[in-house]
A and B are shown apart, each in its own frame.
Chain A
Amino acid sequence: MNPERTTLLQRIVVGVIFLFAGLLFLRHAMPERHDTDFDIAAFVALPVQEGGRIKPADTVARTTLLVIANRTTVRDGDERLGAAEWFTEFSLDPARAVERPVFRVEHPEVAGILGIPADERMYVSLAEILPHFDTLRAQWESIPEESQLRSSYEAALAKLRDAVGLYDSLSHAYTGPPVLGRADTGLRMLRRALNDRTNLDPDSEEARTVENALSLFAGHFTRAARSTALSTIPPLEGGDEPLAEWSNLGSVLLEATQTGELDPLAVTYAEMAAAYRAGDAAEFNSRIKDAANLLAARGHAPAGKIAFERFFNQLSPFTYAAVVYLLVFLAAAASWTVWPRVFANTAFRLMAAAFAVHTFGMFAHAYLMGRPPVTNLYTSAIFVGWGTVLLCLFLEKRFRNGLAAAAAAPVGFCTLIIAYHLSFTGDTVEVMRAVLDSNFWLATHVPTVTIGYSANFLAGSLAIVYLLRDRIFGGLPAPSARLLEGMVYGVVCFALLFSFVGTVLGGIWADQSWGRFWGWDPKENGALMIVLWNALILHARWAKLAAPTGIMQLAIFGNIITAWSWFGTNMLGVGLHAYGFMDAAFFWLLAFVISQLACIAGGWLPRLRFFNVRHEAATQTGAAEKLSGQSTAG
């Protein structure tokens, strides 16, 4: 085989792979299409205030569905609604939205309460939940306060409670509460009552009736004002100050019952909703333009950062990168068996492409937060994968053999999947708690420690590749084995440097803000364990206490320690770094630990070496020629 030439078949295969990746990117980057005349896109582009920051309604739509349904689409029979379509209906036509099956119910006992056969479907609508509300409420009262103490049934109950609570807290953002049973009559009646009050003789019988009606309205509006967490109406002046508080519809209506004056934005929303329910697309679209203009006049045009956030949402760069990382892994693994050079190059280029999108996503997210890239668990997952792939790109650039790519791509993929699941808890662009408010340390300590995690996962993953190939798939020719040993060694050195420096920077931050350098807090201990373990691997290697297989096993154990430090310590609920207990995550952490222990145990198994004969030759040409350089140059 001549390694310099690519055959036509090879070109076609590679071409198809890149075409797929390219088309997938276009699908992500192109604006979403909605099969309707209603300008849904313009509606979800409108800015709102929720969770302490201003964002497009689109973000609320997606995060809400992620939290209550754990996905961003709604399937109702044959109908399929995107997040934007569902949210528009939910906000403007609540009576219709109540029938949509959006609540994900997995636990059979909870499904049992709702009278739904759990094995048939997982999604229920609010209309199906409401008849069982009294039973549910009785059950909700017995859920323990601390999440550690909850059984799986209680956790599932709590999840449903929170989902229903979230649904309720968003439902009166654009349409007022149903007064006298009907949503669309409310505003008309309010206006009439306000009008009558100014025109009627205050001592007349009619005036008293009007006052009674207004106080009845006020009661409804007060409840809506209290329960609504989504504010849609910015103040008329000074709305551009960072801590300026927007009003929700309920409080604006409540104010109207006292002052007699209705905020024009509230009126526009009501007209928009009426047009939506009446099916009048032209009217709806023109009311949205009015709303956008009114918002713009108060300093909140649906443009700039708000528009960028919408683009970021629909691009969903991390989903794209995750899919491509999967492709990278397949290509890299293929390079060990067929067409080593072609597939190694393909893997490298795909990885560079996915990395570019991943990088864009990471910095876009940081821009939206107005913070350095790593600020919470979600962003740390994004960053760990990013760091691993970055290190791997250096290795692959130097030794184009698909080994590092095969090791890093699964880490990139898994961390992005972890991030996706972390996003089920709500908006990932969170406001920053005061205790962490220090951009300097967020930009130094946190990324350094996190790169340390990346390097440890890369070392562990490389070690798994080593053991897998050495024990099971084809066997590892000596030059490749030496190369992998060198890579693991180098990456562990790198990991030690960054883990140590990161941990120390954390200590300095702690000293600067809490007056003590080291407090034996779980997160600090986790970081210390990583440093100790890296030092142990290096000393074991220098003292030749462990053969290459032993070093690889130690490096795989480093995966467990890193996972513990990253997630396990947060599950303890102790100390200044605790961000909250995650019960579902505990299961996955345990599964990960077991899988890693299995890999370590694999190192003691006799060599199986399937596909032995053929692939030995292939890898020889793949890795050995790169390593020595002599075979082609000579």
Chain B
Amino acid sequence: MKQIQKFFSSIRLTVLLLAVSTVLVFFGTLDQVHYGIFHTQQRYFESLFVVWSYPVQWPGHERLGWIELPLPGGYLVGPLLVINLVFAHFRYYRSGWRKSGIILIHAGLVLLLVGQLWTQLRQKEYFMWLAEGESNNYVESFHTDELVVIDRSNPERDRVYSWPVEAFSRGQTELRHPGLPFRLRVVGFAQNAAIFPLDQGPPNTPDLNVTRGIGADRNLTFIQIAPTFREGERNVTTALVDVVTPDGPRGRWIVSNVFRQRDPMREFFPRQTFEVDGREFEVALRFERRYLPESVKLREFRHDRYPGTDIPFNFSSEVTLGDPGSDDARRALIYMNHPLRYDDLTFYQASFAEGDTMSMFQVVGNPARWIPYWSTLIITLGLLLQFGLSFISRFYLTPAAVPVPVAAESLTATAARPADRQPAAGPAK
């Protein structure tokens, strides 16, 4: 027990962990060139272990391709640092104002690391495209997809049944819900797919026997291809589903996140609907959505450029928040460095399209967003206190640091003082 305590509280471990963190961050930056930020972040900073391998794109890969570097991931280094800090605190803690800075720094650090962990676990990134005059009441995820069945039988309100793609990508194939008069059977799934008409594919292209929806109308099939991790690219996540009622199968659909109804510069696809027991349903595989309590409407998008150039001078989107048609809509202007905060989400101006008539917002939800503010305030205070104190004592209180002129002056000053007094003493005699 003593041994363990000694190990976890040693500063050697701190130095080692700091060195490992530096190396981890370095390789976690390098790999972003090939895997994009999001995937690299997951591999390096949201994992226990990671292996870096010599990139294929680098010169000399034929001979050096075998080089691999195993590293502890962020979820191993981070907690170890926290444990190390806490143990070291109890081992080395001495009360007194000289150490107060260190305590503040380390307390702030623990808070920061915990906050970062919380953020990584809970932060969600979405986007929203809006054309001028258009309104929308949901945001869509940048990274995750969902399989949904929408019950359209109520004209007032749709009811959405959603399954995250992870559910069946890990092997669960039967999706059911008590509210649905049928179940979905996932027959095929591709994280990234190439979808094409059956007759235009290479020989031996599998016929998936699609009987309903877009896939049947256009005689489509798909094959799995390697997933992409590049920044700005998205996998064409696709599934093959059967709708099965208690009376038997009702057909087979291809659902894919590229079959979208709205997007700038993309083909628009019809919805894939069907009827069971007289109720209309829609089936889709789509970007995971989060619905907002109200609608966001884009009133106007502005994009000014510097004269004679294409360099943007500003972008701004004027939006209103409220139920469609209601009068008490709240107005907001979203522009660079001035996002809109709404429903625990932050909407910021990210892109535009269609000749400056469409605007894209990136939307981020982070429940731990206040933690860094507090922790960094604490750490900064601690650093100032610690370095300020040691700076003052080092440069102004240590005798060795007293420079020559001051010492010489003070000597002459003491020598002069008795002489100064003499005239005053003279007349008194």
Contacts and interface: CB of A to CB of B under 8 A. Distances in A.
Contacts of B28: 520, 525
Interface in A605-634: 625-630, 632-633
Contacts of B394: 486, 490
Contacts of A543: 11-12, 14-15
A243 B400 contact: no
5 contacts: A520-B29, A521-B37, A522-B32, A532-B18, A532-B21
A535 B84 CA distance: 14
B312 A536 contact: no
B15 A494 contact: no
A17 interface: no
A243 B313 contact: yes
Which 7 residue pairs of A and B lie closest in terms of their CB atoms, listed nearest first?
A: A52-B306, A515-B346, A515-B364, A543-B11, A245-B307, A536-B18, A504-B376
A52 B22 contact: no
A519 B37 contact: yes
A431 B362 contact: no
A339 interface: no
Contact of A435 (B29, B119, B336): B336
Contacts of B384: 497
Interface string A522-557: 100110110011011001101101000000000000
A215 interface: no
Interface string B400-412: 1111100110010
Contact of B348 (A514, A545, A629): A514
Nearest to A53: B306
Contacts of A520: 28-29, 32, 37, 40-41, 45
Contacts of A486: 394
Contacts of B397: none
B25 A437 contact: no
A50 interface: yes
A434 interface: yes
A511 B369 contact: yes
Contacts of B40: 520
A633 B390 CA distance: 27
B349 to A, nearest CB: 9
Interface stretch (A6-14, A273-281, A568-576): A568-576
B123 A507 contact: no
A516 interface: yes
Nearest to B315: A434
Given A513-B337, A516-B123, 19 more contacts: A244-B307, A431-B313, A433-B311, A437-B336, A438-B337, A490-B394, A493-B387, A507-B376, A512-B337, A516-B125, A518-B119, A518-B372, A520-B32, A520-B45, A539-B18, A573-B33, A574-B32, A575-B37, A627-B400
A522 B27 CA distance: 10
B18 A535 contact: yes
Contacts of A545: 11-12, 15
Interface in B376-410: 376, 379-380, 383-384, 387, 390-391, 394-395, 400-404, 407-408
Interface in B294-318: 304-309, 311-315
A303 B11 CA distance: 63
A626 B403 contact: yes
Nearest to A51: B309
Nearest to A514: B348
Interface string B140-178: 000000000000000000000000000000000000000
Q: Could you say which of A486, A504, A632 has the most chain B C-beta atoms within 10 Å of its C-beta? A: A504
A491 to B, nearest CB: 11
A165 to B, nearest CB: 15
Contacts of B411: 633
Contacts of A628: 400
Interface of B is mostly: helix
B134 interface: no
B15 to A, nearest CB: 5
B19 A536 contact: yes
B339 interface: yes
Nearest to B306: A52
Interface size grouping (class) on chain B: 35 or more
A543 B13 CA distance: 11
Contacts of A518: 116, 119, 372
Given A504-B380, A573-B33, A632 B315 contact: no
B271 interface: no
A573 B29 CA distance: 11
Interface residues of A, number: 72
Given A521-B37, A632-B408, A539 B312 contact: no
Given A536-B19, A543-B15, A629 B364 contact: no
A603 B110 CA distance: 35
Contact of A52 (B15, B41, B311, B364): B311
B366 interface: yes
B15 A539 contact: yes
Nearest to A497: B383
A630 B408 CA distance: 9
B207 interface: no
A135 B409 CA distance: 79
A517 interface: yes
A520 B364 CA distance: 15
A443 to B, nearest CB: 13
B26 A515 contact: no
Contact of B119 (A433, A517, A573): A517
A43 interface: no
A273 to B, nearest CB: 22
A276 to B, nearest CB: 25
A500 interface: yes
A49 interface: yes
Contacts of B41: 520
A561 interface: yes
A519 B362 CA distance: 14
A398 interface: yes
B74 to A, nearest CB: 9
A308 interface: no
Contacts of A519: 37
A508 B404 contact: no
A245 B380 contact: no
A400 to B, nearest CB: 8
B29 A572 contact: yes
A231 B307 CA distance: 10
A567 to B, nearest CB: 13
B339 A514 contact: yes
Contacts of A245: 307-308
Nearest to A561: B22
Contacts of A573: 33
A539 B14 CA distance: 8
Contacts of A497: 380, 383-384, 387
A84 interface: no
A532 B25 contact: yes
Interface in A394-440: 398-399, 431, 433-435, 437-438
A229 interface: yes
A507 B372 contact: yes
B373 A508 contact: yes
Contacts of A437: 314, 336-337
B231 interface: yes
A493 B22 CA distance: 18
A513 B336 contact: yes
Contact of B404 (A52, A529, A540, A626): A626
B29 A525 contact: yes
Nearest to A496: B383
A246 B307 CA distance: 8
B401 to A, nearest CB: 8
B363 interface: yes
Interface string B354-382: 00000000111010010011001001100
Contacts of A517: 119, 366, 369, 372
A246 B380 contact: no
A294 interface: no
B202 to A, nearest CB: 29
A108 B315 CA distance: 45
